[in-house]
Amino acid sequence: MAGAPTSTRPEPDRVPAAARPATTRPPVPATWVLKVVMAVTGSIFGVFVVFHLVGNLKVFLGPEEFDAYAHWLQRDLLAPLVPHGWFIWIFRAVLTLSLVAHVWAAVVLRRRARVARGPHRRQGMRTFRSFQARSMLVTGAVLLFFVVFHVLDLTTGTQPAASAEFVHGSAYANLVHSFQRPVVAAFYMLAIGTLFLHLAHGLWSVVNDLGATGRRLRATGAAVAGGVGLLVLVGNLLIPVAVLTGLVS
């Protein structure tokens, strides 16, 4: 009996399983998780700065209204649902945890983007939005320094950040005395300009990070982000300008 026919085609090279490159493990946490963290915590800060602005504008109603608002915020907000004075500490804890998560996610995402990009920078990225995107870590660092200074100045009254006339419980007088220092007022206005850049781009990024793909939805998100950022910019700038010009004193 004749032997079975054999193929004359050469055998393909067989790569031993041990020699095959290992599959790259996905990063932990996943990039989409980090972007959701950025979106959620950024939204919390966006809501906070808008409500903070609304409260601060009560300075134009006079010392009694402003001090009453500050006392309500410190002691009576959500009472008696929660004990008097508890809400402000719960709120501060939420903001602190959000800040830590926001900074952590931003640093990890930036590091991953740098590794993925490699040694070569993209060319032709000269738009205003690209400038905002590239400067997010810088503006975020400036805002972090400003928040620390702002708390020392108007919350704890710690020298030398606070004015020499600081008195605990006198919110209106403390604000006026602080902004009567031209250097502090100028730093505040610079920080508010930085907040505009960071907030406007951050809120626009929220729309993208939460999965919006429609052109109309993205355009609406960009308009809302710009509008909120502009509102926060103009509203907050009015306060130091009013103090420096004597309108609020």
pLDDT digit string, tens, across residues 134-179: 678 888 899 999 999 999 999 999 999 999 999 998 999 999 999 9
DSSP per residue, 48-97: HHHHHHHHHGGGGG-HHHHHHHHHIIIIITTTTTS-TTHHHHHHHHHHHH
Contacts 24+ apart (CB under 8 A), 22-27: 27/112
> Averaged over 199-220, what is the pLDDT?
78
Averaging pLDDT over each range in 82-86, 117-121, 163-167, which range is the top one? 163-167
Write down the pLDDT at residue 88: 87
Pick the CATH number of 31-117+127-244 from 1.10.10.10, 1.20.1300.10, 2.60.120.10, 3.30.450.20: 1.20.1300.10
Write down the pLDDT at residue 9: 56
Confidence of residue 192 (pLDDT cuts 50, 70, 90): very high
Q: Which two tokens stand for residue 39?
A: 């979106």
The CA distances from residue 69 to 30, 40, 79, in Å, are 43, 28, 14
pTM metric for this prediction: 0.79
Write down the pLDDT at residue 161: 94
Would you kindly state where each structural domain of the chain is located, as residue ranges?
A: 31-117+127-244
Write down the pLDDT at residue 125: 52
How far apart CA 169 and CA 74 sit, in angstroms, is: 10
